[in-house]
Amino acid sequence: MDGMLGGMAVLGVVAALVLIAAIGGAVYLALRLARPTTDRESAHEQLARRLASGEIDVDDYHERQAALRSTAGSARRR
């Protein structure tokens, strides 16, 4: 009988730890989702980074920059 009580005590501790981990995870996710995403690069910043890293050439950069400007202008007119 003592073995069964010891096993139940261990199970209770494990259940408490799982519950604490679940609550902690829920709080972490809630805080992360509630925080505004200001750390994202804008399209212009991404384009400049790609030019600097050599992913695109200068002509491609200017073409895409113009496309971004025209897209932003049409979005403002709506």
pLDDT value for 38: 66
- Say yes or no: 53 and 78 in one domain: yes
Whether the predicted pLDDT of 77 surpasses 60: no
- pLDDT tens for 25-75 read 999 999 988 887 666 778 899 999 999 999 999 999 999 999 998 886 665
DSSP labels for 13-78?
HHHHHHHHHHHHHHHHHHHHHHS--TTSPPHHHHHHHHHHHTSS-HHHHHHHHHHHHHHHHHHHH-
- Say yes or no: 47 and 28 in one domain: no
- Say yes or no: 50 and 29 in one domain: no
pLDDT value for 35: 80
- Say yes or no: 11 and 24 in one domain: yes
pLDDT value for 24: 97
Whether the predicted pLDDT of 78 surpasses 60: no
- Say yes or no: 63 and 29 in one domain: no
Which pTM was predicted?
Answer: 0.44
Q: Is 54 left (phi over 0), alpha (psi -120 to 50) or beta?
A: left
Structural domain count of the chain: 2
- Say yes or no: 53 and 22 in one domain: no
- Say yes or no: 47 and 71 in one domain: yes
Q: Which residues span the domain enclosing 58? A: 41-78
- Say yes or no: 28 and 49 in one domain: no
